[in-house]
Amino acid sequence: MVPNLRGAQRAADCGLDELVVVVSADDEVSMRNQGLTVNEVLADLAKIGDLAQSVGTRLLVAVACAYFAPARGTVTREERPRVVEAVADAGAGGVYLAATSGEEQPAEMYEGVAEVRQLYPQLDLGVHLHNRNGFAPANALASMMAGATWLEESFGGLGGDMWFPGDPSVLGNVALEDLIHLCDGLGIERGIDLVKYMRVSDKITELTGRPSASFVSRGGTRADLAAAHWPQMAEPLTGEPVPEMDKAAMSGPGEETHKADETAYAQLRSIIVAGELPAGTWLRETSLAERMGVSRTPVREALNRLAAEGLVEISRNKGAQIFSFSPEDVTELYDVRAGFEPHAARLAVPRLDNDDVAHLAALSARMEEAVAAGKLSELNALNSPFHGIFVEQCGNRHFAMALQAVMRPALVAHTFRIYSPEALKRSMLHHAELVAAAEARDGEWAEVIMRQHIRAAKNAAGARPSTR
Domain harbouring 275, CATH code: 1.10.10.10
Res 468: pLDDT:
41
**Confidence label for 169 from pLDDT (cuts 50, 70 and 90):** low
Q: How long is the chain?
A: 468
Is residue 216, in this structure, part of any structural domain at all? yes
Give the Cβ contact number of residue 168 at 10 Å.
6
Whether the predicted pLDDT of 170 surpasses 70: no
Give the confidence band of 243 by pLDDT, cuts at 50, 70, 90: very low
Residue 186 and residue 62 in one domain: yes
Q: Which residues contact 151 (CB under 8 A, 6 or more apart)?
A: 126, 127, 128, 129, 140, 143, 144, 176, 179
CA atoms within 13 A on the CB side of 218: 15
**What was the pLDDT predicted at 242?**
44
Query: Residue 353 falls within a domain, yes or no?
Result: yes
- Residue 240, in any domain of the structure: no
Residues 46, 152: one domain? yes
- Nearest residue to 337 (alpha-carbon basis) of 463, 460, 454, 462: 454
Question: What is the number of structural domains in the chain?
Answer: 3
Local confidence band at 223 (pLDDT 50, 70, 90 cut-offs): confident
Asked if residues 314 and 303 have their Cβ atoms less than 8 Å apart, the reply is yes
- What is the per-residue pLDDT for 172? 65
pLDDT exceeds 90 at position 267? no
CATH of the domain at 43: 3.20.20.70
> Which uninterrupted H or E stretch holds 300?
helix 296-309
Q: Return the beta strands (E) in 252-365 as ranges.
A: 282-283, 312-315, 319-322
DSSP per residue, 177-237: HHHHHHHHHHT---S--HHHHHHHHHHHHHHHT-----HHHHH--HHHHHT--PPPPSS-T
Residue 156 and residue 302 share a domain: no
Tell me what percent of the residues of the chain surpass a pLDDT of 70. Answer: 85
Instruction: Clarify whether residues 198 and 178 are in a common domain.
Output: yes
Residue 284's pLDDT band (boundaries 50, 70, 90)?
confident
Please check whether residues 217 and 295 belong to one and the same domain.
no
Domain span at residue 147? Answer: 5-222
The predicted structure's pLDDT at residue 272: 80
Residue 259: inside a domain: no
Q: Are residues 331 and 317 in the same domain?
A: no
Alpha-carbon distance of 192 to 144, in angstroms, equals 17
- Three-state DSSP class for 61? strand
In degrees and rounded to multiples of 5, residue 71 shows phi and psi of 60, 20
Are 311 and 430 within one domain? no
Which of the listed residues 277, 294, 322 is the one where a domain comes to its end?
322
- pLDDT range class, residue 301, cuts 50, 70, 90: confident
For residue 260, being part of any structural domain is answered with: no
pLDDT (tens digit per residue) in 377-386:
778 778 888 9
344 in any annotated domain: yes
**Side-chain-facing half-sphere of 119: CA atoms under 13 Å:** 17
- Mean pLDDT (the chain, rounded): 83
CA separation for the pair 23, 3 (Å, rounded): 8
Q: Is 108's pLDDT higher than 80? A: yes
Measured between alpha carbons, how far is 382 from 378 in angstroms, rounded to an integer?
Answer: 7
Backbone angles phi, psi at 18, to 5 degrees: -150, 135
CA 315 to chain centre: 9
Return the SS3 of 154.
strand
What angle (nearest 5°) sits at the alpha carbon of residue 199, between those of residues 195 and 200?
120
Tens digits of residue pLDDT in 83-107: 999 999 999 999 999 999 888 999 9
Closest CA to 462 of 426, 431, 417: 417
User: What is the per-residue pLDDT for 123?
Assistant: 92
If asked whether residues 128 and 77 sit together in one domain, one would say: yes
What pLDDT does 356 receive? 94
CATH of the domain at 398: 1.20.120.530
User: What is the predicted pLDDT for the residue at 235?
Assistant: 47
**Poorest-confidence range of 240-249, 257-266, 446-455?**
240-249
Annotate 134-150 with DSSP letters as a single string. Answer: S-HHHHHHHHHHHT--E
149 DSSP 8-state letter: -
Banded pLDDT at 415 (limits 50, 70, 90): low
Is residue 238 situated within a structural domain?
A: no
Are 312 and 272 spatial neighbours (Cβ–Cβ below 8 Å)?
yes
Residue 164 pLDDT > 50, yes or no?
yes
Asked if 334 and 456 sit in the same domain, the reply is yes
Q: Which of 13-27, 158-172, 362-376, 421-435 has the lowest mean pLDDT?
A: 158-172
Contact 419, 427 (CB under 8 A): yes
Burial zone of 24 (CB within 10 Å; 0-12 exposed, 13-18 middle, 19+ buried): buried
Strands (E), 104-155: 124-129, 150-152
Task: Report which of residues 358 and 305 the model is more confident about.
Answer: 358
Among 390, 366, 139, 412, residue whose Cα is nearest residue 274:
412
For the chain, state the CA radius of gyration.
31
Residue 418, pLDDT above cutoff 80:
no
Confidence at residue 106, expressed as pLDDT on a 0 to 100 scale: 93
Long-range contacts of 350-354 (CB under 8 A, 24+ apart): 350/441, 350/443, 351/393, 351/394, 351/395, 352/389, 352/393, 352/438, 352/441
Q: Are residues 65 and 205 in the same domain?
A: yes
Q: Which of 79-88, 152-161, 339-348, 387-396 is predicted with the least confidence, judged by mean pLDDT?
A: 152-161
Residue 197 CA, chain-centre distance (Å), reads: 15
Tell me if 31 sits within 8 A of 14, measured CB to CB.
no
Is the distance from CB of 88 to CB of 61 less than 8 angstroms?
A: no
Helix, strand, coil shares, percent, the chain, to 5 = 60, 10, 30
Average pLDDT over residues 429-450: 96
Lowest mean pLDDT among 141-145, 347-351, 395-399: 395-399
- Is residue 46 situated within a structural domain? yes
Same domain, 316 and 370: no
- Which of 208-222, 305-319, 418-432 is predicted most confidently? 418-432
Residues 34 and 137 both lie in one domain: yes
